[in-house]
A and B are shown apart, each in its own frame.
Chain A
Amino acid sequence: MITVDYVIVFVFLAAMFYIGSIFYKWVGNSDDFYLAGRQLTPFILAAVLAATNVNLYSFVGQAGIAYKEGIPIIWQTWTGNMAMVISGLFVIPVFRRLRIRTIPEFLEKRYSKGVRTFVAFIWILRLTFWLGVVLYTAVIAAQTISGLTSFTAWVLIFSVVVVIYTILGGMWSVAFTDVIQFVLMLAGALLLLPLAMSAVGWFPGLSAKLPEGALTLVQETGTYNWRFVIAIFLLGIEWACVDQGLLQRAFGAESTKSVAKGLVLAGIITTPFALLWNLPGLAARILYPNLANADSAVPILIANLIPNIVLGLVVVGLLSSQLSTISGNLNGVATIFASDVYENVINRKATDKDVLRIARIITLLTGVGMILFAYLVPVLGGAVNAYLTIIAIMDMPLFVIAVIFGLLWKRVNWQGAVTGYILGAISGIIGQFFFDLDFNLTTFITAGTTLIFTPIVSLFTKEVSNEKIDAIWRARTISDEEIASNNIYNIFPKTFNGKLSLVVFFSGLVIFLVGVFMGSSGSSAASIVAVTGMVIYFIGGLFRAYTN
């Protein structure tokens, strides 16, 4: 990078700081800070969700796997997008109707206060550790691209500006800067794609020079084979239904209908976007075939192919992808602590002003925690693997008790939920550490254990019925807010067009699954069938979100 590039980066950070900070005046109460006053429109929500979900992991980690193993890793993003559409159409509208801010808050309504506090602490630790990993990967990529090798300098560049504007403007700052950052990172990726493809002789050159099968989307064998596509799709559904970072943005939507529209749009726009970092990853394999660290594939490609000045713009795009993820998760931790721990346990008589003050202090402390974890990541060695293990052990049981039993079976009580959660987590620990099972299998075991023990314990303990649970069951169909505004979203559509769109949606899902299963026999048509199914699925989902 030359001086002009550094000036571009500096101007960008200063602009983000200024724009993020002007929203200070917009934050009048805690709902403004956590959820942007629940006023986000579908297109803003979609950009916010896409910006939060695309980060340097995509450009570095996923592109690195594409470099090593070929294109099938793209299903991690594509199935995640499909999962967002399912949760947007069927699950999150129910949560939005309950006007909750966090998943632990839902767990109190559904089960008990103890479950809420327990899960809240787990999420605070998890999100802070995740932030440390995100910051660390950002610094490593920035060092490779820029030539500025000071770890501390990049830690400060990435964290100071974003922490300050998130403290000041809360979700309003997060939402506005996310929209700008989404456009900038898309622009950065659009600059990279043609340069990378022309360097390898465009698409014919790419397919001729890559090893056989590297461009096959659904593979019969290998690490990222057809089974991986199914497993990652199930994990994606779990993520899209309980992830605090995603849910909090969705709860900021202006209406239940906007939640559905925003999530469907976010899923659709991120799908072609995924090609913009996976194809350069494949191109890097041809241009730099013997890299010791595959994660450096795209950073090296950027450093070598992109001319100065344009390089500054691409770095701004990459910075954008990281800042949006950091700001959203900082706000998530602050919300969980202030709402589920401070207001709920420490100071039950807290005023809205107290809660807002605490949320801002926690944002600052989480920022400090994120920096400390970033320094710890290289010391811990397998930190990212440890994080994935925590997800496999902790997240799947949460999905089962919160979404499957929490929304579908009234008879399940808090005793069943807590026992199922703990036994599910223990089975995951045993599978992972005593039997050395892989990440996917551990996830299925934790889910299975929770699915079995939660209903058994519930049936042997007292049935609980109260107004809160009745309110959840009512939220499956309607809310007072929708009646008052005459803006009703029917999860199961009433009109012909709505029903037709649902048929198209599920037909797409079936075709997608058929395509993936065709991959098990090595069929050459598997990839095209799976992708066709995915496209039909998105079309059905889009029409569903815009019909009633």
Chain B
Amino acid sequence: MYIDWITWSIWLIGVLIMIIWIVVPIREFKKLLQQKRTELKNKTN
């Protein structure tokens, strides 16, 4: 089976970027969410 290294290398870099930009922003948004929750709690108290 023929494998086109150029196309699949570009594709793999794209997949890698996609995975990083799913994992890291989720972690960062979780932190922001916790901060905001604490802020909103403090306001209502």
Contacts and interface: CB of A to CB of B under 8 A. Distances in A.
Contact of B21 (A194, A204, A269, A276): A269
Interface residues of B, number: 23
Given A189-B14, A190-B11, A194-B11, A183 B22 contact: yes
Interface in B1-45: 2, 4, 6-8, 10-11, 13-15, 17-18, 20-22, 24-25, 28-29, 32, 35-36, 40
- For the complex, would chain A's binding face be called helix, strand, loop or mixed by DSSP majority? helix
A276 B28 CA distance: 27
Contact of A273 (B8, B14, B20, B24): B14
A388 interface: no
Contacts of B29: 44, 176, 179
A182 B11 contact: no
Given A39-B32, A203-B4, A276-B10, A187 B18 contact: yes
Nearest to B24: A43
B36 A26 contact: yes
Given A44-B29, A47-B25, A176-B29, A272 B7 contact: no
B14 A276 contact: yes
Given A176-B29, A193-B7, A197-B4, A182 B14 contact: no
A194 B22 CA distance: 22
Contacts of A548: none
Given A44-B29, A183-B22, A272 B14 contact: yes
A183 B18 contact: yes
A41 B28 contact: yes
A202 interface: yes
Contacts of B21: 43, 46-47, 179, 182-183, 186, 269
A272 B11 CA distance: 9
Given A39-B32, A44-B28, 14 more contacts: A43-B25, A44-B29, A47-B25, A183-B21, A186-B14, A187-B18, A193-B14, A194-B7, A202-B6, A203-B6, A269-B17, A269-B21, A272-B10, A276-B10
A25 interface: yes
A528 interface: no
A341 interface: no
B34 to A, nearest CB: 12
9 contacts: A44-B25, A44-B29, A179-B29, A183-B18, A183-B22, A190-B15, A193-B7, A203-B6, A276-B14
B37 to A, nearest CB: 10
Contacts of B10: 193, 272, 275-276, 279
Interface in A167-185: 176, 179, 182-183
A51 B21 CA distance: 12
A179 B29 CA distance: 10
